[in-house]
Amino acid sequence: MNHYKPTDKLAKLIHTNHFLLPVINRFGFRLGFKDKTVEQVCQEQNIDLNFFLTIVNTYTDEDYFPQNELVSFSPVLLIDYLIKTHEYYRNYLFPEVERRLERLLSSCQGTCDDLQLIKSFYNKYKEELLKHLEEEEQNVFPYVLALLKAYENKQALPKKYANYSMKSTEPEHTNVDQKIYDLKNIVIKYLEPTYDDNDCNEFLFAIFQFEKDLLDHARIEDKILLIQVLEIENAIQHG
Ligand SMILES: [Fe+2]
Ligand SMILES: [Fe+2]
């Protein structure tokens, strides 16, 4: 698979993978970029080019793994990006899924027990995912920032983080990834068709999009952030 490069036009990125739309928004890029290339837009907006390319390529190719020299951008940039993604889930994707679910529920004729079960499954899932995001924001990201500061200033890591390591701190993704798949699967396989088809499709489209974004997001945390942090943890231990 060909990966995006600095000389590609930003418009081409969107034509070939429209799921990148919210991703480029998180970098502050908005539509109307004419024939500008990735390199030009990054320069104009003061965005680290390697960082941008690593993210869009990770979102486009599941097997993409950036070369070492490409991962040399600061973890601070990555954490800022990951937090923006969490906000996107809280402020846009959750409410959007819920709007579509309510519409689906109100289109239901007769007994709608199955749909009520879907709703309670979704609510439990949401609670679990919110807990996951919070754990990262309250434990993982502050640890990485403290680690980076200690490394850069050649200081000791605050006592509070003495027993922390990236591998033991980052919560598992398997559970949250599996459950959103299960949610889709129950609707596709077992839901009694007593609802409006278009409303149900709209609900599923939103879940598919959410699932894709979550998988890509988890890959960035499990691969890219992890490599960066392991490198600093090693340097501190051996430094
Ligand atoms: Fe996250
Ligand atoms: Fe995560």
Amino acid symbol at 157: L
Nearest to 147, CA basis, from 171, 169, 131: 169
- Confidence bin at 156 (pLDDT 50/70/90): confident
In this predicted structure, the answer to whether residue 112 has a pLDDT above a threshold of 70 is yes
- Confidence bin at 69 (pLDDT 50/70/90): low
Cα of 212 to ligand 1 centre, how many Å?
13
In this structure, which ligand is nearest to the CA of 85? 1
What residues does each domain of the chain span?
A: 10-69, 74-238
Cα of 207 to ligand 1 centre, how many Å?
17
Cα of 113 to ligand 1 centre, how many Å?
33
Cα of 220 to ligand 2 centre, how many Å?
9
- Confidence bin at 168 (pLDDT 50/70/90): confident
SS3 at position 46: coil
Cα of 218 to ligand 1 centre, how many Å?
6
In this structure, which ligand is nearest to the CA of 218? 2
Neighbours of ion ligand 2 (CB under 5 A): 221
pLDDT of residue 239: 63
Cα of 84 to ligand 2 centre, how many Å?
13
What token pair was written down for 112?
A: 């709608």
Model confidence pLDDT, tens digit, residues 131-151: 999 999 999 999 999 999 999
Taking every pair of Cα atoms in the chain, the longest distance, rounded to a whole number of angstroms, is: 68
- What is the C-alpha to C-alpha distance for residues 198 and 27, in angstroms, rounded to an integer? 33
- Confidence bin at 203 (pLDDT 50/70/90): very high
Cα of 82 to ligand 2 centre, how many Å?
9
Let me know: does 22 contact 88? Beta carbons within 8 Å.
yes
In this structure, which ligand is nearest to the CA of 86? 1
pLDDT of residue 92: 97
Across the range 37-46, mean pLDDT stands at 97
